[in-house]
Amino acid sequence: MRRATASAVLVALGYYAGVHVGLVLKFPPSTPSFVWPPNAILTAALLLTPPRRWWICLLAALPAHLAAEFGMGWPLPLVLALFATNCSEALIAAVGVRWLSDTPARFDTLRRMTVFLVAAGLVAPFLSSFLDAAVVTIVRGELYWSVWQTRFFSNVLTELMLVPAIVMGVTAGPAWLRRAPGARRAEAALLTVALVLVGGWVFGLMTVHPTIVGGPVTPIVFLLPIILLASVRFGPGGASLCMVGTSVVAVWAAAGGRGPFAGLPPAETVRALQILLIMLATPILCLAAVLVDHRRARSALGKRVHALRESEALKSAILNSLNTAVAVLGRDGRIIDLGSNWFRGSGQGGAPAVAGLGLGDNFLEAWGQTASVRMPGADEITASILEVLHGARQDFSFEYPCQSGAGERWFAVSIVRLDRPESGAVVSCADITSRKAAQLDIERSRQELTHFMRVFMAGEMTASFAHELNQPLTGILTNARAGLLFLDAAPPDLSEMRAILSDIVDDGKRAGEVIQRLRDFLRKSDPQRASLDLNVVVHEVVRMLASDAVIRNVTITVDLDEKPVLVFADRVQLQQVVMNLLLNGMDAVAESTGARRAVVVHTRNTELDTVHVCVEDCGPGLRAGTYDLLFEPFFTTKPTGMGMGLAICRSIIGAHDGVIWGQDNPSGGAAFHFAMPAVTAAPA
């Protein structure tokens, strides 16, 4: 509200002052003036004000108009009509500029400046002068075209001189005054002094008359360098102020009857000056707008180039800081960018296929030539790399060993599709020999521990194995002794002897099988996976534990799926898991005082292409809060336990992509489950 009031007061004061300036610069006997500032001031106010507040500006101008023009002794209808014509000019200019320009209060592109020049500088004075001339002709009886012409030229000149100067002075002036560095201020001051001096000289204000031998007829051209310099150095604002200054000097001189047009009648002097200034101002303003536009575009371009350089430098710094060797490939497999690590990672003693490749070399060809002779499966890898290069696949990675002087080294290569229309890929190559060795070490330790646990379990079952062997041995001994006694009889019963020997053979085999099973179970060999039936595995384990169960007085019941429960796994390791769970179950039953002394093994094929095995016991169940700890190494609830059994079970099942878990049975006791992927295809 205060702002609106302030601007209204400013408009009123400006208008009032403008009328007086206009009246002062009148050259009798013509009514219109050399310049007529009120209309331009009103136009500038409208350009600076949003349309919904235009009425404030127009209303503020009315009292100023009345106050200024009543003093002239003109009749009220004429004063009011002139106000209407003044307003019509400002409105046409403001509406035209607003309609055609994207930013009405700026003149810093050729388009904005041209819109202003056409709408405010040409069309608005042109149209409003018809109204004005009509009013003046009717009321005062002057010549219509003479009035029209006088008013048109003076208003065109005023619009061109004042509107950009006022608008830019209001919008950019305060900021310039506050922030401009001293050098700029000095430059502006020098230009002003030069303009005044040269202007004064050119327009004959000084006593020294231009006397250059062979110089131009009118020395006005000497002003041009100053005006051009102002346009180049200070843009439309500078050009505009410079033109105002030139006008002031020129009018001052003309009013004093001096200057290059001094010989003409006053009215023609005015017209000549008007046309001179209009013709000078139009291209100068356009030039200033083009220059500032150009400068802004160049600066924006500079910023973008700078940003691009920064991003380029960042990219290359990233590439060079990577731990792995990185190369960027074009669609054809040619290397189009490299990290400096490439030569370190892939070169000396590095990956054989890509060693020594540089910018522009074809990675794919080098790989194909070198790898195909050294590596099995290289062709598949090449095909996959091609898929990534052509964008058919997002990424691909592989590891490969290579023999070097210092022994076997391992490399991991990862190829990721380059996300751009022309495709390509980013290759990274890392030496993973130490990681691979650590992995192998861990795997070896795991296998040793697994084997150790089998030996440990077998040790716990010594009594059971003794029992298992004693049975056939007893059979053999008693049968053999009976046979010897039979031989003493005469005649010996040969068919009985045959039966005896047959029993002895069977028992011998049975003892041999017990020992074979134990040896298989204890054998230390690399895991060998094959398609096998978990039902069979469970049977084998139950068979091995049969004596143990009898000794402990525990019943082992099996509840197996009717169909084979097929998995792709290592037989001995799965035996170990099942045995571990069954031994735990029997231990649990031994702790319990319940009447039932049973452990049940279930096997099932599930609908999810997995198999499920469960070992339930009738023991005391798991201790609350131990579910998560059960499979941790060294966690045990048994007085003599090592706490490794279930940890190894988890490791074995995990290695087979399965899961193992324990829980309490609703009906009492504990249940241990494991599930792993099923082999869906029928075994060959």
Interface size with other proteins, residues (CB under 8 A): 34
- What tokens does 610 get? 């997995």
Q: Which is nearer to other proteins, 318 or 466 (CB)?
A: 466
β-partners of residue 671 are 616, 663
Q: Is 208 in the site for other proteins (CB under 8 A)?
A: no
In degrees and rounded to multiples of 5, residue 334 shows phi and psi of -80, 145
Q: How far is the CB of 479 from other proteins (least distance, A)?
A: 4
Q: Is 370 in the site for other proteins (CB under 8 A)?
A: no
Among 9, 221, 305, 463, binds other proteins (CB under 8 A): 463
User: Quick one: CA dihedral 101, 103, 105, 111, positive or negative?
Assistant: negative
Name the residue type at position 515.
I
* Cα distances (angstroms) measured from residue 651 to each of 538, 573, 644, 660: 19, 10, 10, 9
Among 439, 553, 606, 626, binds other proteins (CB under 8 A): 553
352 exposed, middle or buried (CB, 10 Å; 0-12, 13-18, 19+)? Answer: buried
Q: Is 525 in the site for other proteins (CB under 8 A)?
A: no
Q: Is 592 in the site for other proteins (CB under 8 A)?
A: no
Q: How far is the CB of 510 from other proteins (least distance, A)?
A: 7
Among 372, 447, 471, 636, binds other proteins (CB under 8 A): 471
Q: Which is nearer to other proteins, 47 or 544 (CB)?
A: 544
Q: How far is the CB of 515 from other proteins (least distance, A)?
A: 15
Q: Which is nearer to other proteins, 297 or 505 (CB)?
A: 505
Inter-residue contact 535 to 560 (CB < 8 Å): yes
Q: Indicate the SS3 state at residue 540.
A: helix
User: Quick one: CA dihedral 668, 674, 680, 684, positive or negative?
Assistant: negative
Inter-residue contact 670 to 664 (CB < 8 Å): yes
Q: Which is nearer to other proteins, 93 or 504 (CB)?
A: 504
Q: Is 489 in the site for other proteins (CB under 8 A)?
A: yes
Q: Which is nearer to other proteins, 359 or 501 (CB)?
A: 501
Residue closest to 574 by CA, chosen among 628, 518, 617, 528: 528
Q: Is 164 in the site for other proteins (CB under 8 A)?
A: no
Q: Indicate the SS3 state at residue 541.
A: helix
Question: Which range binds other proteins by CB under 8 A, 76-84, 378-386, 475-483, 610-618?
Answer: 475-483
Contacts of residue 445, Cβ cutoff 8 Å, sequence gap at least 6: none
Q: Which is nearer to other proteins, 274 or 547 (CB)?
A: 547
Residue closest to 577 by CA, chosen among 671, 646, 661, 635: 646
CA distance 286 to 305: 28
Element (H, E) at 569: strand 566-570
Q: Is 558 in the site for other proteins (CB under 8 A)?
A: no
Q: Which is nearer to other proteins, 449 or 480 (CB)?
A: 480
DSSP 648: H
CA distance 636 to 633: 8
Q: How far is the CB of 475 from other proteins (least distance, A)?
A: 3
Among 137, 370, 382, 555, binds other proteins (CB under 8 A): 555
Q: Is 601 in the site for other proteins (CB under 8 A)?
A: no
Among 486, 568, 635, 661, binds other proteins (CB under 8 A): 486
Among 196, 482, 518, 558, binds other proteins (CB under 8 A): 482
Residue closest to 388 by CA, chosen among 366, 411, 413, 371: 413
Q: Which is nearer to other proteins, 33 or 464 (CB)?
A: 464
Q: Of residues 504-523, which lie at the interface with other proteins (CB under 8 A)? A: 506-507, 510
Question: Which range binds other proteins by CB under 8 A, 132-140, 219-227, 450-458, 492-500?
Answer: 492-500
Pairing of strands 610-617, 670-677: antiparallel
Among 478, 592, 610, 636, binds other proteins (CB under 8 A): 478
Q: Is 599 in the site for other proteins (CB under 8 A)?
A: no
Which spans of this chain sit near other proteins (rule: CB under 8 A)? Answer: 463-464, 466-468, 470-479, 481-483, 485-486, 489, 496, 499-500, 503, 506-507, 510, 547, 549-551, 553, 555
